[in-house]
Amino acid sequence: MTLVVAGAAAVYTLRIADDCLVLSHRLAQWSSWAPALEDDLALTNIALDLLGQARGMYARIAELDGTGRSEDDYAFLRGERAFVNCQLVEHENGDFATTMVRQLLCSTYQLAQWQALTASTDEQVAAVATKAVKETAYHRDLATDWTLRLGDGTDESHRRMEHALAALWPFTAELFESDAVTREVAALGVGPDPGDLRPEWDAYITRVLGDATLPAPEVSWRPTGGRQGLHTEAFGYMLAEMQHVHRSFPGVTW
Amino acid sequence: MRSSGQIDQGGAEGVPTGSPAAADPVADPREADFQALIDADQRIEPRDWMPDGYRKTLIRQIAQHAHSEIIGMQPEGNWITRAPSLRRKAILMAKVQDEAGHGLYLYCAAETLGVDRAELIDLLHQGRQKYSSIFNYPTLTWADVGAIGWLVDGAAITNQIPLCRCSFGPYARAMVRVCKEESFHQRQGFESLYTLSHGSPEQHEMAQDAVNRWWWPSIEMLGPPDTDSTHSAQSTAWGIKRFSNDALRQRFVDMVAPQAVVLGLTPPDPELRWNEQRGHYDFGEPDFEELRRVVGGDGPCNRQRAAHHLKAHEDGAWVREASAAYAAKHAATTAAA
Ligand SMILES: [Fe+2]
Ligand SMILES: [Fe+2]
């Protein structure tokens, strides 16, 4: 299945929207399963913010690709190969440590990205970004707090955090990949080339992991492909669940 | 939603049967002042003197109400990952989050009476405190989310509006905030169900099926009939309970019966009709035997709900321990500095 949107700006925006939607969905899976009520509230808060960000971006994509499709067309009527989120966001929740490490890695990236997007030449994207910066700063703070607490908490929490980092770290390489789409968009001033976000991300993550007494893992494996619609096996199950009801009743209003 | 009620075959406001409502064996001279405050419709605050029975009754009722909010997250949360549009998904996530918030305020209100949340959660896990019977029914289709919003949040509001005037200040204040959100939930549920009912034939059928399954359990949520509810006199005297279960049930039916007409859905009660003389709807006899069974632990989902909550709690133990360890280390560092 080919990408369903045309034009570099639309593809680029779709990548960001899909990152938000998929991560939101994963976080929402925590509902009623979090370690404490406060954590349930916090995870749902982040999931709601991300869903709002995705919806803001889908609305813009429908204009950019000239199809005028609805947000639900993007979310519910594309197959596995048409989603262009990075693989990190689709990674299964695992334990609370895995979810929080994933959140730290993602939110740090997304915050840098939204900050750069506030200066986008695309005014609608800039408007979504302005709101998203505030929200994402909170997501990053929350994930940072948990990283410190769990990294420097008990032996068990430390061990779980190391395990989570080892599992997720390989997926971070993909976040910073540049390609023809990102180069074109950067040249137009629509958004940053992901490679340019790396120094800020590295600096923040290194500092937090250091404070949390967690060594950054050394890995040789660098999975990639999400931006081309190549996903992990777990993603198909996620989409099947997410899209099932919508697709079972074609063309109706909800 | 989350009604406080029907717990232990308890009253509509969750006052447990055979509750410690019995008056203190030796009358305390302060009791007259306490009762005078209540009779003057004043609020009792946590620092005020109160009879032991009043304190125990409230702890139990507020805790069971809190547990209901929290357990209620399960049946509705069950549909978050399958919500059929992004808009509905956002609404449902926000609703389930509100319920978590309600649970939190209520646990805090209970804590003002000298217990802590962890103890109350242990009592829930041991089955010594209950939660609303309604959450022991499964959510089988998407339409159940709308039906719960309309009927279950509707019954909860019916129960809770009088609690906004409850004699215990922290509970009354929590209820004011909760009721605002519950009525929002009820409108959203109604709107969702309306959309389904007026959608495709399959959507309409799904909505009707959901109403068929949720109608009676929602009516039963208001508690056993007044004839079986012998414990409410003390709660009434204490300003905790203001209306009988049957009075609240009538109020609920009077609210939802005309709404069903607007929805274009038929409640599964052939006896439901307007009674001009009474100025109320007549309705059939709820199956109180079923309510007793469900409250007693043999509803479709009692075991599942309890196991889910316990598993989440146990899975989170290492996280809570890590937080405590980190806080202790941090406190030690700060103190040393
Ligand atoms: Fe509610
Ligand atoms: Fe509630």
Q: Concatenated DSSP letters for B22-39?
A: SPPSS--THHHHHHHHHH
pLDDT digits (tens, 9 = 90+) for B136-149: 999 999 999 999 99
Q: Is the pLDDT of residue A225 over 70?
A: yes
CA of A36 vs chain B CAs: smallest distance (Å) = 7
Per the structure block, which two tokens stand in for A157?
């929490």
Under 8 Å between Cβ of B135 and B74: yes
Distance CA A168, CA A181 (A): 25
Q: What is the DSSP track for B144-170?
A: HHHHIIIIIHHHHHHHHTGGGG-SBHH
| Confidence grade of residue B9 (pLDDT, cut at 50, 70, 90) | very low
In whole angstroms, how far apart are CA B114 and each of A185, B119, B257? 60, 11, 42
Sign (positive or negative) of CA dihedral A187, A189, A191, A196 = positive
Distance CA A154, CA A160 (A): 10
Per the structure block, which two tokens stand in for B84?
């059929």
Distance CA B204, CA B118 (A): 44
Ligand (nearest to CA of B102): 2
Place of tokens 């009604």: B3
| Confidence grade of residue B332 (pLDDT, cut at 50, 70, 90) | confident
For chain A, what are the domain ranges? 8-248
Contact partners, residue B185, CB within 8 Å, separation at least 6: B1, B95, B98, B149, B153
Q: Is the pLDDT of residue B25 over 70?
A: no
Residues 69-88 of B with CB under 8 A from A: 70, 73-74, 77, 80-88
Can you tell me the mean pLDDT for B319-326?
97
Q: Position A34: which residue type?
A: A
Place of tokens 């340019």: A196
Distance CA B111, CA A156 (A): 31
pLDDT digits (tens, 9 = 90+) for A185-219: 999 999 999 999 999 999 999 999 999 999 999 99
Place of tokens 């689709």: A90
Can you tell me the mean pLDDT for A29-41?
97
Q: What is the pLDDT of residue B15?
A: 34
Q: What is the pLDDT of residue B232?
A: 77
In this structure, the dihedral spanned by the alpha carbons of residues B202, B208, B212 and B218, taken in order and rounded to 10 degrees, is 120
Chain B CA closest to residue A251: B200
Distance CA B59, CA B113 (A): 7
pLDDT digits (tens, 9 = 90+) for A109-130: 999 999 999 999 999 999 999 9
Q: Is the pLDDT of residue A1 over 70?
A: no
Chain B CA closest to residue A241: B82
Under 8 Å between Cβ of A161 and A212: yes
- % of chain A surpassing 70 pLDDT: 98
Q: What is the pLDDT of residue B336?
A: 65
CA of B317 vs chain A CAs: smallest distance (Å) = 7
| Confidence grade of residue B230 (pLDDT, cut at 50, 70, 90) | low
pLDDT digits (tens, 9 = 90+) for A228-245: 999 999 999 999 999 999
CA of A222 relative to ligand 1 center, distance in Å: 45
**Is A254–B195 a contact, with Cβ atoms under 8 angstroms apart?**
yes
Can you tell me the mean pLDDT for B32-43?
92
Q: What is the pLDDT of residue A4?
A: 57
Per the structure block, which two tokens stand in for B53?
């029975």
CA of A225 vs chain B CAs: smallest distance (Å) = 25
Q: Is the pLDDT of residue A72 over 70?
A: yes
Question: What is the overall mean pLDDT for chain A?
Answer: 96
CATH code at A8-248? 1.20.1260.10
- Of the residues A20, A21, A32, A98, the best mutation for testing chain B's interface (the one with the most B CB atoms within 10 Å of its CB) is A32
Can you tell me the mean pLDDT for B220-227?
94
| Confidence grade of residue B26 (pLDDT, cut at 50, 70, 90) | low
Length of chain A: 254
Ligand (nearest to CA of B104): 2
A100-114, B8-22, B181-195, B201-215: least confident range = B8-22
pLDDT digits (tens, 9 = 90+) for A173-183: 999 999 999 99
| Confidence grade of residue B8 (pLDDT, cut at 50, 70, 90) | very low
Distance CA B6, CA B223 (A): 4
Length of chain B: 337
| Confidence grade of residue B21 (pLDDT, cut at 50, 70, 90) | very low
Encode chain A in three state secondary structure.
CCCCCCCHHHHHHHHHHHHHHHHHHHHHCCCCCCCCHHHHHHHHHHHHHHHHHHHHHHHHHHHHCCCCCCHHHHHHCCCHHHCCCCHHHHCCCCCHHHHHHHHHHHHHHHHHHHHHHCCCCCHHHHHHHHHHHHHHHHHHHHHHHHHHHHHCCCHHHHHHHHHHHHHHHHHHHHHHCCCHHHHHHHHHCCCCCHHHHHHHHHHHHHHHHHHCCCCCCCCCCCCCCHHHCCCCHHHHHHHHHHHHHHHHCCCCCC
CA of B65 relative to ligand 2 center, distance in Å: 9
C-alpha closest to that of B238 among B13, B39, B102: B39
Distance CA A97, CA B232 (A): 48
Q: What is the pLDDT of residue B36?
A: 92
**Is B322–A150 a contact, with Cβ atoms under 8 angstroms apart?**
yes
* Of B88, B203, B316, Cβ closest to residue A35: B316
pLDDT digits (tens, 9 = 90+) for B238-296: 999 999 999 999 999 999 999 999 999 999 999 999 999 999 999 999 999 999 999 99
Q: Is the pLDDT of residue B334 over 80?
A: no
Distance CA B189, CA B94 (A): 13
Q: Is the pLDDT of residue A134 over 70?
A: yes
β-bridge mates for residue B274, sequence order: B281
A113-122, B131-140, B225-234, B296-305: least confident range = B225-234
Number of CB atoms found within 10 A of residue B336's CB:
6
3-state secondary structure of A107: helix
CA of B218 relative to ligand 2 center, distance in Å: 15
Can you tell me the mean pLDDT for B219-228?
93
User: Is A138 near chain B, with CB under 8 Å?
Assistant: no
Question: What is the overall mean pLDDT for chain B?
Answer: 91
Q: Is the pLDDT of residue A75 over 90?
A: yes
Residue A174 CB burial class (10 angstroms; 0-12, 13-18, ≥19): middle
Distance CA A48, CA A28 (A): 8
Distance CA A111, CA A137 (A): 6
Q: Give the pairing of strands B280-282 and B273-275.
A: antiparallel
Q: What is the pLDDT of residue B29?
A: 84
pLDDT digits (tens, 9 = 90+) for B49-87: 999 999 999 999 999 999 999 999 999 999 999 999 999
* Element holding B185 (H helix, E strand): helix B169-197
Q: What is the pLDDT of residue B18?
A: 36
Ligand (nearest to CA of B4): 2
- Of the residues A27, A29, A40, the best mutation for testing chain B's interface (the one with the most B CB atoms within 10 Å of its CB) is A40
Can you tell me the mean pLDDT for B26-42?
88
Per the structure block, which two tokens stand in for A172?
């971070």
Q: Is the pLDDT of residue A15 over 60?
A: yes
Burial B274-293 (b: 16+ CB within 10 A, else e): eeeeeeebebeebeeeebee
Residue B179 CB burial class (10 angstroms; 0-12, 13-18, ≥19): middle
Can you tell me the mean pLDDT for A148-177?
98
Burial B125-140 (b: 16+ CB within 10 A, else e): eeeebbbbbbbbbbbe
Query: What is the pTM (predicted TM-score) of this model?
Result: 0.94
CA of B55 relative to ligand 1 center, distance in Å: 26
Q: What is the DSSP track for B70-105?
A: HHTHHHHHTTGGG-SSHHHHHHHHHHHHHHHHHHHH
* Of A29, A244, A254, Cβ closest to residue B85: A254
**Is A51–B86 a contact, with Cβ atoms under 8 angstroms apart?**
yes
3-state secondary structure of B248: helix
Q: What is the pLDDT of residue A2?
A: 43
Q: Is the pLDDT of residue A165 over 90?
A: yes
User: Is A2 near chain B, with CB under 8 Å?
Assistant: no
Chain A CA closest to residue B141: A245
Strands (E), B150-291: 273-275, 280-282
pLDDT digits (tens, 9 = 90+) for A52-70: 999 999 999 999 988 889 9
